[in-house]
Amino acid sequence: MTRSSALKRPPAPLPSAPAGEWGTAIDRERRRGRGTGSNASGRYEPLARVAFDDGWQNIDDLPPFKTSVTVDATRRVITRNDSPDISFDRSINPYRGCEHGCVYCFARPTHAYLGLSPGLDFESKLFMKPNAPELLERELSAPGYQPKIIAIGTNTDPYQPIERRHQIMRRILEVLERAGHPVGIVTKSALVLRDLDILARMASRDLVKVALSVTTLDPKLARIMEPRASTPPRRLEALRQLVNAGIPTSTLVAPVIPAINDAEIERILEAVASTGVRHAGYVLLRLPLEVRDLFREWLMENFPDRHRHVFKLIRDMRGGKDYDSSFGRRMTGSGPIAWMIGRRFEIACEKHGFNATSVKTTTRHFSPPLAASDQLSLFG
């Protein structure tokens, strides 16, 4: 039979430690279609549990990781932040965890707050907020609320596969449209086209902008990096349809990973330019907390010959560290290699006419939603 061993959590492995030294790798068949290779306990757990084969049952016979969805009984839906290097101060996340399975996702460590693993748990044990639209109406109608653009998709993707069934994002957009409230959306899913009707109406009043992430044009690399996200051709087609519908649209080359996809920057921007998009940005790979070790395991499995080189380049761009969380540097890095990537991106943008204008949304249409308990006036 297969047993679970509970061990006292050891100190964090050194940056040079080989992949898989802690967190035992899960058999490939069990995690087919998933992005990460292990499921180590979260950093707040006093014990780390590792499955092993005691000889009675083959560990390979364990069932595959299936997606489960649990209701998140949150009381508030708008999250505030005061980070000086991002362009918004409030956001909404309809879901916790993300089935897209992107190994590099900087949101993975948030699953540790739930007592779960930032590894396979993050992409298979998901949480949804079915009452998010109702909570949003309540918060928008609160006395003293001042409207500013709300960002959606900055942590986990609002258009991940489970959105097809639960449609929480669509209902959130319906609330924002009725209230005349501006929104900025980031996704890597062509499912955004499902809501083209709402987005087009909002765009006609300068209430929305959409950014679609295009990380690579290589289908094989895309499937390794983002196993359950839309394929590159589908994302490019989604960009084209958004532009044709008159929706302010941009692309993100994110993340840029040295020696993995950085050579594609110019090709990606050329392909995006052909869709009619004229705004673009990029973000350098970020490796906070558990993401570092998950990314190292991923490299060792998929690109073992590049493992040391990739991390050397990362440290060259992060002041000798695996990650620098300093505001102003965490998105773009520092040093000669980071500068070169940034300059290449700028030159490609200039060549294709990107970012020559700015896209702005407005709050002039905002009208607080009428709470269900509010009595309608007798007089118009």
Would the pLDDT of 58 be above 70? no
Q: What is the CATH number of the domain that holds 106?
A: 3.20.20.70
Please name the residues in contact with 19: beta carbons below 8 A apart, sequence gap of 6 or more. 293, 296, 297, 299, 300, 301, 307
pLDDT 10s digits, 277-308: 999 999 999 999 999 999 999 999 999 999 99
Quote the pLDDT of residue 64: 75
What does residue 102 show for φ and ψ, rounded to 5 degrees? -65, 120
User: Whole-angstrom Cα distance, residue 106 to residue 63?
Assistant: 28
Would the pLDDT of 3 be above 50? no
Mean of the pLDDT values across residues 51-75?
74
**Cα→Cα distances 292→10, 20, 47, 289, 309, Å:** 17, 12, 20, 6, 15
pTM value is 0.88
Please name the residues in contact with 61: beta carbons below 8 A apart, sequence gap of 6 or more. none
User: Whole-angstrom Cα distance, residue 287 to residue 324?
Assistant: 9
Residue 377 lies in a domain: no
First to last CA, the chain: 73
pLDDT 10s digits, 157-168: 999 999 999 999
Residue 375 lies in a domain: no
Residue 91 lies in a domain: yes
Quote the pLDDT of residue 288: 95
**pLDDT band (50, 70, 90) for residue 377:** very low
Overall number of domains in the chain: 1
Q: In terms of residue numbers, what domain contains 295?
A: 2-352
Residue 376 lies in a domain: no
User: Whole-angstrom Cα distance, residue 282 to residue 344?
Assistant: 11
Residue 359 lies in a domain: no
Q: Position 346: which residue type?
A: E
Residue 363 lies in a domain: no
Residue 372 lies in a domain: no
Residue 119 lies in a domain: yes
| β-bridge partners, 90 | 80
Q: Position 323: which residue type?
A: Y
